[in-house]
Structure 1
């Protein structure tokens, strides 16, 4: 990032607020999501790499926050469709989860949960199909946790429920390519997520023919402008998704999705519905299956109510300093 685009660190710290948002259901091992927000000339922006990420990986998220807070982004449309997100819950909990996503006709379902089984996954997906009906779209996400053989076996078992695609069934690009070849006849498409956002070369999966489409997240890829460049070069269809962001981070993704997704492509940006609290009085939660493309007005009262403990704020400020040093060098 050039010096011309990099604001002084002191400016970031001056408005930095760290929040801890409780969630309705455990997701990705998380029950409380921490995030740092700060205010730039364009409005509030978000820096929220997961706590286990090292500083090098987190640096892309800081680039994204600065990009959204300091660079102008014009919405290409007023609203976008989104999918519901179903964590690895028991099948009987599925209806109550989907009820938080009014109007959504597409659902992304977590599978391959550690400690779970393929039978659990099948039951969960079957429950989603029962709620959505025959016309609904179902996506499954394994977060790269299956082996090739386990992925093929699981996807064969899940295919009768009509999958739109399977997201990151295995960890590596060669594994994705193998699974794609073996399940293609079942009508299951493969989407790459971690192989894009966590890869040293986010275009490797496209060059290898290992996926039918890409899952694109603004923060991990360095922001709206960096993600647009990757999408253009990859030349594959994409679905824009969130990284369990607050409504501020969701807005970043929504601006990106408005530029690259088709008008009926449901994006994975309905995840504000997973939080019990947010940082704005008008959170970007689905209404009639859609969210607006706009920068939310952050509430001072909600920032206070959801503020992380002092030791966690200090942890995030230290992380900001270290990550800033990386992108400034």
Structure 2
């Protein structure tokens, strides 16, 4: 990690914004973020509001890497990305897909609280009908029990799934699901069991997943994420955390620096936003994003500036997370 800047330096570089969403995603219609104008470039600090300071401090470490150290040299200049379909009604799938350019891979949210398996089946069926040749992956965010996950994957298997992301919360549960659906041809991917775990390598040691999902910010930065992928010895998919284009730039840097990139990445979520902080957003063209730097636009920072009370809240959170990092 880059040397920890003084707190006053970070606060002087901070801009808090609220970006509107086109559709509800992860239960929110607005995404709050704190942006930092660092000497090496713009950076984003955007842990979700319910995260505690210990977990959120890793997001600050990632922002400091981006803004004060910069990114590793890329090994590739173009990153394939998937479209993302939130847990919308099947009738809304076409409209969501229309916000993405030239879709080759789709990630579909399933196991949404308050919904049933029938809703998931209808959503996946609508995507498959619209895109018969696309690779389809699903993401349950740990929303199923083991029996529910096995039943759901058996029901969804006819739609030809590339993989199922975090079908159940625990590592033991992932391992059990992986064993129980081994004959379906559906790979099991671990997300929360990597990025929210005290030991991000436990999944790999347990043989609980076929691949891992890595996100730069929750893992403490691009370089730390690269270390985890190398030590895990599993294929990796780089994904976003509902970032602005500034945050997506870190994900692009991670994907560009991986020795191997066998799957499309989940870095196309800016298309789900109705606002951004850069003039030319990092969105996919022909199914991928070209590696390039971005800078927040002063006019957009003003347009999407957070209300005073939310700005205070984020600045206080930044200070608390800075203390966590300073304490080692």
TM-score past 0.5 threshold:
yes
What secondary structure sits across from 1:5 in the alignment? coil
Structure 2 counterparts to residues 119-158 of structure 1, below 5 A: 119-133=118-132, 135-158=133-156
Query: Are the equivalent residues in 2 in contact too, given 1:103–1:288 (CA < 8 A)?
Result: yes
1:150-205 deviation per Cα after TM superposition (whole angstroms, max 9, x unaligned): 00000100011000000000000000000000011111110000000000000000
Q: Give the aligned length.
A: 326
Match of 1:303, SS? helix
| Structural mapping, 1:14-163, within 5 Å | 14-73=12-71, 74-133=73-132, 135-163=133-161
- Among 265, 278, 282, which residue is 1:280 paired with? 278
Q: Is the 8 A contact 1:36 1:46 kept in 2?
A: yes
CA positional deviation for 1:263: 5.7
How large is the RMSD of aligned CA atoms in angstroms? 1.1
Contact (CA 8 Å) 1:238, 1:261: kept in 2 or not?
Answer: no
Between the aligned partners of 1:309 and 1:157, the Cα distance in structure 2 is 46
Residue aligning to 2:204:
206
Once the two structures are superposed, residues 233-271 of structure 1 have per-residue CA deviations (whole angstroms, 9 ceiling, x without a partner) of 000000000000110000000010012274662100000
User: CA separation in 1, counterparts of 2:208 and 2:263?
Assistant: 21
Q: Distance in 1 between matches of 2:35 and 2:134?
A: 35
Could you tell me which runs of 5 or more consecutive residues in structure 2 were left unpaired when the two chains were aligned: none
Task: Provide closer, same or farther for how the CA distance between residues 221 and 182 of structure 1 changes in structure 2, counting only shifts above 3 A.
Answer: same
User: C-alpha displacement at 1:94, in angstroms?
Assistant: 0.7
Cα offset, 1:15, TM superposition? 1.5
Residue pair 2:142, 2:169 contacting (<8 A) in 1 also = yes
- Equivalent residue in structure 1 for 2:293, among 284, 292, 295: 295
Say if 2:105 and 2:134, in contact at 8 Å, map to a contact too. Answer: yes
User: Per-residue deviation at 1:75?
Assistant: 2.8
Provide, for residues 273-309 of structure 1, a one-character-per-residue CA deviation record: whole Å limited to 9, x for no partner. Answer: 0100000000101111111212212100000000110
Deviations 1:183-232 (A, max 9, x none): 11111110000000000000000000000000000000000010010000
In structure 2, what is the Cα distance between the partners aligned to 1:187 and 1:261? 25
Asked if 2 retains the 8 angstrom alpha-carbon contact of 1:17 and 1:303, the reply is yes
> How far off is 1:104 after superposition?
1.9
Matching residue of 1:222: 220
2:193 corresponds to which of 192, 195, 208: 195
The TM-score with structure 2 as length reference comes to 0.97
